Amino acid sequence: MVNCKVVLPLLAALGYLLVGVTAQQKDWWETTVFYQIYPRSFYDSNGDGVGDVRGVTAKLQYLKDSGLDATWLSPIFSSPQEDYGYDVSDFLSVDPLFGTNADLEELFAEAKKLGIKIILDFVPNHTSNQHEWFIKSEQRIEPYTDYYIWHSGRPNGNDRPLVPNNWQSLFYGSAWQWSDIRQQYYLHQFAVGQPDLNYRNEAVIKEFDDILRFWMAKGASGFRVDAVNHMFEVEDLRDEPINNPDDPFSYGYTHHIYTKDLPETYEVVGRWRKLIDDYVAANGLETVIMMTEAYANLTMTMKFYQSDDGRPRAHFPFNFAMIEDLHDWSNAYDFKYIIDRWLGNMPSGKITNWVLGNHDKPRFASRYGRDRIDGMALMLMTLPGAAVVYNGEEIGMEDFRDMSFEDTRDPQGCNLGPNNYKWASRDPQRTPFQWDNGYNAGFSSAAKTWLPIHPQYAGNNLRQQQEAATSTYKYYVAAIKLRKERVFTHGAFESRAFNDEVFGFVRYIHENDNRYLDPYNVVLINLSGYSQKIYVHHLYEFASEVATVKLASKQSSYNVGAVVSTAGLTLGPYEAVVLGN
Ligand code: NOJ
C-alpha cells in the first residue's frame, strides 16, 4: 500500500513538472533564444578573411527577422589569438582584428534600436601571457606578483626543476610552463599562452569586478562566464589520482578533483551576481544576466543556481545534457529520462535552458544526423525556459571534419599533430557562416578566409533556404515564433516515451474547471526512420479528439493548419510536429 508519507514528497518533487506556471510576466531572458555568434566566422565586413564586430552589426536585421532577441558573442577583446580570443590581453578593449571599442558601442546602440540584447563573453579563469598583469607578474612587479599560479617545481639536481605535479592541460601536455624570466613554472589549464589566474588573491577578483562594471556601463545585457569551474585549484597543488594511465600527457590522465569544481568557485560566482544585481538596481537597468559555462556533473552544475541558503548565483548554468548525455543512438526513453532528470533537479523557481551545440563541440547536425535536425530543433524551441542556438544551426550547418592539418588553427587540434588532430580539433564546427552560394559563401571578399569554407555551402546556405518552400531555416523561424505563445512561455510540462522511437511532451496551462478547455500543445518527435502510430491521449488525457497542426517538419506529410485525429496518428520517418487546440 502507498501511504501519505510516500506520496507527499513525491508530489512535491514532481511539482515543477506537473503544476502549471501562473501567467505572471516573464523577464526578458527567461524565455528568449540566445543566438551564439562566433564573430570570427559570422560576417567579415572589411575583407580580411576574419569576421568582425561591424559584421555582426551588419547582420542584426537578420537576427531580428529570424525572431532572435538576444545574442552572445564569443570574445572580441584584445588577444594574440592563441586560443582564438579566449586568451585575452586586455579585457577592456576590442582587438583591432575585430574592430574598435567604438564599433562595439555602435553595435550596442543598433541592437538596442532593434530590441536585441548583447551578451559578452567573460573569461575569468586565465589571461593571455601577453596581458600586462602576466608580464609584470613574471617580473615580480607588485601588485601582480601573485596574480597567477606560480611554483618553483620539484628539485632535479643541477638541471631545470621538474614540473610541480601531474596535472595536464585540456589542450594536451603538462599544465605547467617554465618561465626563464621568473625561474618558476606557471599553471595553464588551457593553452601555454593562457596562464591561470590566482583566485586566492582578492585583488584578482576585484579586477574582474571592475571589468563587469565597465561593460555594463557600455550596455552589455549579460555575461557568458567562460570555464568557470576551472577557477580554483587546491592550495597545495598536490598530484591528482590517476584516471587513465594510457597517455600521461592527456587531460584524461588524472581525475580532476583538485583542479575543477572546487567549492570556492561558487562563492565568487555569487559575489559577481550580487555585484551585477546591485549595479542594475543602482542604475535602473533591465536585468543583466550571467550564464556560466561548466562541463560538470549534474550536482555540481545545479550549484551554479544558488547557494544552500538560497543566495542567487548565475541566472543559469548552460545545460549541456543534449551535448553530453544524449546522442544519435539515444532512444525516446533516454530523452525522457535525461530531460526529466534535469528539470527535476533544478532548484524550485529557477529557469532552465537548452543547448544543442557551440564552438567547442561538434555540430548537432553532425552528431545527431541530418534527418534529426528538425526534431532536435523542435525540442530545443518548445521545452520550458531559454534556448541557445549556435550560429549556423538554424540552417543545419555540419562539421567540416575533413579539414586538412595545414588549414587547422585550433590549439586543441594542432597540439596532437597531423595524425591525431582530426577528432580533437574544434575548427570543423567553426567554419564561416554559409550566407549564400556566392564567393566565400557570402562571408568575406578576402582571397583566403581564416578557416576554409565548408565545401557543402553551395547546396546548403541561408539564401537557398530562405527561397525554398520548406527548409530548416524556415522551420526554425516558425518554431521561434511559436515558442513566443503563452502555452510555451508559461505552460507546464509533461513528457512521454510512446515507445523506443517516439518522444513527446505536452505544454499546457491549467486555467479552466473543465480541463478539456485548457490550452495545450503537444510536441511529437519520431527519432526513427520508420512510421509510427501514436495516441496523443497516452501523453495528455485532456487532448481533444482532433487537434490543429501548429508546426510540421520538412519531412512531414501534415500541413500546418490541418485538423488531425489525435487517436492513431501516424508519424512518418523522423517527423516532428506540434499539435494543439
Ligand atoms: C571554453 C571556451 O568555450 C573554449 O573555446 C576555450 O578554449 C576555453 N574555455 C578556454 O578559454
pLDDT tens per residue across span 84-122 = 999 999 999 999 999 999 999 999 999 999 999 999 999
Ligand 1 pocket, Cβ-based, cut-off 6 angstroms? 83, 86, 123, 190, 226-227, 293, 359-360
Do residues 559 and 579 make contact, with C-beta atoms less than 8 angstroms apart? no
d(CA 169, CA 189): 5
Q: Which residue in 173, 206, 191 sits closest to 409, CA to CA? A: 191
Say which DSSP state 358 is in. Answer: -
How far is it, in rounded angstroms, from Cα 487 to Cα 21? Answer: 10
Instruction: Report pLDDT for 24.
Output: 80
CA-nearest residue for atom 4, ligand 1, is 360
Please identify every residue annotated as catalytic. Answer: 226, 293
Look at ligand 1, atom 11, and give the residue with the nearest C-alpha: 86
Domain spans, the chain: 398-459
Question: Measured between alpha carbons, how far is 493 from 481 in angstroms, rounded to an integer?
Answer: 19
What type of residue is 186?
Y
Alpha carbon of 81 to ligand 1 centroid (Å): 12
Mutate to test the pocket of ligand 1, among 76, 81, 82, 86 (most ligand atoms within 8 A of CB): 86
124 burial level (CB within 10 Å; 0-12, 13-18, 19+): buried
Nearest CA-CA partner of 275 in 86, 74, 122? 122
pLDDT value of position 19: 40
d(CA 478, CA 66): 9
Inter-residue contact 317 to 304 (CB < 8 Å) = yes
Burial label for 173, CB within 10 Å (0-12, 13-18, 19+), is middle
The answer for residues whose C-beta is within 8 angstroms of residue 462's C-beta and 6 or more apart is 395, 433, 434, 435, 436, 442, 473
Q: Please tell me what DSSP assigns to residue 376.
A: H
H-helix segments, 94-201? 101-114, 132-138
CA of 58 from ligand 1 middle (Å) equals 26
* Average pLDDT, consecutive stretches of 10 residues, N- to C-terminus, the chain (581 residues): 40 42 80 98 98 98 98 98 98 98 98 98 98 98 98 97 98 97 98 98 98 98 98 98 97 98 98 98 98 98 97 98 98 98 97 98 98 97 98 98 98 96 97 98 98 97 97 97 98 98 98 97 98 97 96 93 96 97 94
Locate cell 538596481: which residue?
281
Count how many Cα atoms sit within 13 Å of the Cα of residue 70 in the half-sphere of its side chain: 24
Q: Which of 194, 196, 276 is closest to 229 using CA atoms? A: 196
Provide the 3-class DSSP secondary structure of residue 502.
Answer: strand
